[in-house]
A and B are shown apart, each in its own frame.
Chain A
């Protein structure tokens, strides 16, 4: 193995030899594990003489004269100086530098010591991430960073969560934080390769990313070698997952049978001879008793426990000249839904070669390939809604074929067997992704460095939908296939001069430079019908052939600069300035400046506090800055005709976009004040308050539809996000054998819109609307208010507001006429607060970590209930088990009824607050138990460490929400309204066994 790794390194670089004659000899080892430190630097103070330790930690160095002071340095260890005499032999023990304050934090274009930070920055180490096994870091970050909202809105294999930092501050622009990998915007990585994650939260830190940092920045740093022997790590994770249906418990055969009796109540609205009794004779005639014996659980048949496996192998090592890390991982996740899954292979090679003291070159390559099988929404829809009275299988155990011509009785609303469809269709996808980073650092003088970081990247993705001619439904006998290929490529180049000097108590550092980003996406695809059975490529389609394809380009060029100053490491001041030019805007608005200024006072470094036994860290921070948004897609300012259609096989041009020649940047003005407190060397507390005002929102302003356009891009309105954010970590108990520590994060956020030219109502699928109004929240639901059931008639009731001429509500009344019901603001899809509470316990070799996450105060529209609590509107859809306090109206005077009479339920399932539910929840996100095998035993087997762990994810969720899952999308999109829960791929419970070897 070692040889392979070495060989890999040799491919990249040739290793230069080194040796010197001796005067002082010795060995350097680590104070922590007593192992020799490789590549530690030894220099003679006041001279240029230096050397490094060899692979066994030994060194020898010539000293001028009889005595000298030697300086021993190694990254991650405290520097040590000692006096030596000629021919002395010394044993040096370097202590690991555990002080968090001196941790180097990667803050984008540069690194700073934690103590030097002037802005709101949170760091999450790999240690705290690794309890969760997932294909993305987002899932791992849930509940671990104050202000970071992570929503796992889909449990589909390979799906990534939605991430928001400090609320939602834009309407039409991208809301996800900018991901920066190894100092370059964007990029691909495997979660196993992650060394640390830094979250930049305020403009003091993010303004340097200018127009791309509106939603915050998440900086991912991949692993690099620590000094020492070549180290190997192998990790194997295996387990399984099951679908988590939340509170969506569907009726079984008996429950449905009894429920359907309600449909036979003798009640015709308006008739005088109603008996309000259930007509059992008619019922038994139409619902034979033996239906009770036909009980098929469609969702159980469609969602089955699925295996998950993750293997990871890495090697890393460092010598004086060369520093490398190689990681390989394989991730395989089967989906709980039939015929779905995801797998991915990732290879990463990071290396830095020091040509000289002045010049180092870093080459990082990340290759990944993924493949998977997606699903069709309709199949999941029917897996929930088909009736338990229908058997999915025929007598031979195969999925039964059913269509409109089938002669046998099929109770479900639509003659569709999703299991048969799944068996005769597939939705595979593949992806291939390459990132190559090239970085060059050249120390021009001892205070000035030229740094160039560059990346070229290319990704190719292919998605296919295939239906065999055997499938029932619209593609029966013809079959269907479509393919979409997406090629994405681009480059980024950052070229910076960085300076860093000290004079007396003053330190100044900073950078200035240029950056360029460009990218192109090319789409192409085709589809067709008329496939021969058994074949599934585009070549064999015989009719209805369609092709499509288009390209998209975007460019951004920037100037950036930053200056940091500190006095006596007590007073810190930082300023940055960036100018971005974006191809998204018309020529005259193309460039925009993004300045920031931030400062901090590290009070605990003042003389009067230095010796405090209580407070070991006290820092006040303040920042102000502007970030922007340009990520709305290309050419939004042009008046356009789209040429994508045809009429009678001739080119057709269709009005596509209204011109908006004044379109310009959306800018977010951010103020942040924070304090960091460290007490008793046990408790660390970070508190931030912020106010972010996003001005000139890039908004699709509603037009009267009679102009032929829905919207026009304009800069209109503002949104203000205000919030408080608290991060706490404490070591509650620490003894030799036992340690208990806790992390707690919470973020209160409120958002308000103002300055809009007029109210904007966005109506999505199923006529579920949200209103954008001055003084209102983003994603505020706008619908009639449900008032329950009229106890005399059993009809649904909504609130009708009577208003005077000024629009003031003078009175309200209940109406059973849906068209009369007043549409009103009904709460936002965004939470009032959310956070996490994590505890970790260590006892001897055992470790236990329990992570929880909570989210409070948002509304979720449980759209599934429209189908699953439908008052007999759709009698042949299966229904949800009604909550215990629910009661269907049975006769006049039934004041306890909560659900309308199936005989008098006109419009009862129309959009109203009936299905709008409290989306608050508290979840035990993860429990991880691990055990490190005794060192002595492990060493005998020639390992450094072996750890065995078991984890359980999504253990339990506490919520009042009625429906599939309160974790619901907060991203507006095609057929997706933020806060609307629809039939979705359920989230997973996950149980894993992990074995970790270090050697």
Chain B
């Protein structure tokens, strides 16, 4: 008895006094210093940068399903345009894009800003590690090129949302450029011109580094050219916009969808002939009603909220050509008698450009660049360089493939209009809901006309809606490019913790 007790006694003492190693490593994370030492680690980090465009990551202590890079980008861009009408007042911050009641505390701009810079931070870490290693093998060069491409892409999207159009004021404050891993956290905004210069440098570098084609789900040399064409167009460096567009068109890797294949383009972005670069969503990235891009603009009755619709303004532009296959992405909700149903007085025309990958109403791999934009970039630049004929040829190139063979311009500028008008109208119809419209209007120093019924009209109630006439008397129906609300406020978090960042007026 005594013996066993003393044995227990001694065992306890030993167990208690044995010092435990207090090092604990996380089970699903890896230290930054370890990660960057291997090619696998670097590749994972690059994949992570793509993933951040589709993931919902924790922000402010919560994983809010609304918060996704692409969802916010499309909503911040297109909900402010005249292509989408608001059918329902909501507490969701995207409502500010319709109403222009912007606030620095908007959750969507805050998240978008945050995740953009998280992507950029990750890219900078990889760029720094690869460049310091001195490795020049094709795999690492491709990796580096993709990083430069994504950094340019993210900086460019930021400056579009938070900085004035380059054409309006290149010297105005743009965004904070983050191109190094070692700089101070507090930093002032670069000018719009400086941001464009950095974006162009990065994109050019990206184009020269990338030699491997990993599929349209990843950046490529052609994607870099496409970005260069777009940025130069925005910068009104028109010849370069044309040159880069031609590089893509002549690469032979992409062909325009035809009238028969176009309706299935967006459901099959990863395999479509026209896609230059898309963000790949797989089955597990189907976020359903609460988290997908589609759920706000489309519903099969259960799949989404379906509260924002194709506007009467856009439909009016397309009305003369019901045979245009681009109608296939505008889906009216009809009742048994064929009448288009209304929600809160607004006619329901769903938008299906972000639906039906694998037949799923909330799944798509959003296209960032596609071939038809290259023709339209070219056309716009040509129009601005007073080559109306060439411009309209490029426009016709698109129209031929959209079921409008009988309605081509054939180099003739319609009376009372300009070649640029024709190009911009085509661009509006072709690239509708893809995050172009507001920028195309404002960088061309034009006005956005939202004189139609919708809940962007302040104080509108369902009972006020009278579709037989146009609304009148409401503020903000016409938005000029000089309106300070064509861009968003910097997020309050940045301004508070970084006094060097001056808020937009």
Contact = CB atoms under 8 A, between A and B. Distances in A.
Interface of A: 263-264, 268-271, 279, 282-283, 286, 355, 359, 403-407, 414, 440, 442, 450, 452, 454, 472-477, 493, 495, 513-516, 518, 543-546, 550-555, 557, 581-583, 587, 590, 634-635, 638-657, 659, 702-710, 758-759, 761-767, 769, 818-819, 866-867, 872-875, 902-907, 909, 972-975
Contacts of A582: 22
B110 A646 contact: no
Nearest to B29: A640
B24 A647 contact: no
Interface in B1-50: 1, 5, 8-9, 12-13, 15-17, 19-20, 22-33, 35, 41, 43-45, 47-48, 50
20 contacts: A269-B459, A269-B473, A271-B473, A286-B463, A495-B13, A550-B28, A552-B27, A557-B22, A635-B26, A641-B44, A645-B48, A655-B32, A655-B121, A655-B125, A705-B110, A707-B121, A763-B493, A767-B103, A767-B107, A867-B91
B22 A649 contact: no
Given A474-B288, A641-B45, A762-B60, A704 B302 contact: no
Nearest to B52: A654
For the complex of A and B, list the 8 residue pairs with the smallest distance between their C-beta atoms, beginning with the closest. A708-B121, A405-B301, A404-B301, A704-B498, A652-B51, A474-B289, A653-B44, A652-B48
Given A641-B29, A705-B110, A765 B497 contact: no
Contact residues of A: prevailing secondary structure: mixed
Given A641-B48, A642-B29, A974-B63, A710 B114 contact: yes
Interface in B82-124: 89-91, 93, 99, 101-103, 105-107, 110, 113-114, 117-122
A474 B101 contact: no
A286 B463 CA distance: 8
B196 to A, nearest CB: 18
B178 interface: yes
A644 B28 contact: yes
B186 interface: yes
Given A634-B26, A763-B105, A764-B60, A703 B185 contact: yes
A905 B459 contact: yes
A652 B50 contact: yes
Contact of A647 (B32, B41, B48, B494): B48
A404 B302 contact: yes
Given A268-B473, A704-B501, A705-B114, A653 B41 contact: yes
B217 interface: yes
A966 B497 CA distance: 33
Given A403-B302, A702-B496, A640 B31 contact: yes
B102 A705 contact: no
A704 B48 contact: no
A903 B117 contact: no
Contacts of A652: 44, 47-48, 50-51
Given A473-B302, A557-B19, A818-B103, A634 B24 contact: yes
Given A818-B103, A906-B99, A974-B61, A704 B461 contact: no
A647 B459 contact: no
A710 B110 CA distance: 10
Interface string B401-417: 00000000000000000
Contact of A452 (B12, B31, B461): B12
Contacts of A477: 302
Interface of B: 1, 5, 8-9, 12-13, 15-17, 19-20, 22-33, 35, 41, 43-45, 47-48, 50-52, 54-55, 57, 59-64, 89-91, 93, 99, 101-103, 105-107, 110, 113-114, 117-122, 125, 175-176, 178, 185-187, 217-218, 280, 282-284, 286, 288-290, 299-303, 305-306, 335-336, 458-459, 461-464, 473-475, 491-494, 496-498, 501
Contacts of A581: 22
B24 A706 contact: no
A907 B96 CA distance: 10
Contacts of B120: 708
Nearest to A795: B459
Nearest to A547: B284
A359 B8 CA distance: 12
Contacts of A450: 9
A590 B24 CA distance: 12
A897 B304 CA distance: 38
A789 B283 CA distance: 50
B30 A643 contact: yes
A635 B461 CA distance: 53
Contacts of B22: 555, 557, 581-583, 587, 590
Given A708-B118, A767-B107, 12 more contacts: A452-B16, A475-B288, A516-B15, A587-B23, A641-B29, A645-B48, A657-B29, A702-B493, A706-B498, A707-B178, A764-B62, A767-B93
B32 A641 contact: yes
Contacts, number: 297
Nearest to A823: B105
Nearest to B305: A414
A119 to B, nearest CB: 27
Contacts of A653: 30, 35, 41, 44-45, 47-48, 122
A649 B27 CA distance: 20
A403 B47 contact: no
A866 B28 contact: no
Given A581-B22, A646-B51, A648-B50, A704 B29 contact: no
Nearest to A557: B20
B258 to A, nearest CB: 27
Given A440-B12, A640-B32, A764-B61, A704 B45 contact: no
A551 to B, nearest CB: 4
A706 B501 contact: yes
A473 B289 contact: yes
Given A710-B60, A764-B60, A906-B101, A647 B17 contact: no
Among A656, A764, A866, residue most surrounded by chain B Cβ atoms (within 10 Å): A656
Contacts of B288: 474-475
A452 B13 CA distance: 9
Among B44, B59, B501, residue most surrounded by chain A Cβ atoms (within 10 Å): B44
Nearest to A909: B91
Contacts of A651: 44, 47
B282 A709 contact: no
Nearest to A794: B459
B459 A904 contact: yes
A651 B91 CA distance: 36
B24 A554 contact: yes
A826 B38 CA distance: 52
Given A404-B302, A907-B101, A975-B62, A442 B47 contact: no
A638 B43 CA distance: 21
Contacts of B90: 874
A767 B105 CA distance: 7
A118 B305 CA distance: 63
Contacts of B289: 473-474
Contacts of A406: 301
A545 B282 CA distance: 11
Contacts of A454: 12
B463 A355 contact: no
B363 to A, nearest CB: 10
Among B282, B283, B335, B493, residue most surrounded by chain A Cβ atoms (within 10 Å): B493
A769 B105 contact: yes
A476 B26 contact: no
B48 A654 contact: yes
A91 B282 CA distance: 87
Nearest to A545: B284
Nearest to A477: B302
A973 B122 contact: no
B302 A703 contact: no
A229 to B, nearest CB: 30
A544 B172 CA distance: 47
A605 to B, nearest CB: 38
A514 B20 contact: no
Contact of B27 (A514, A551, A766): A551
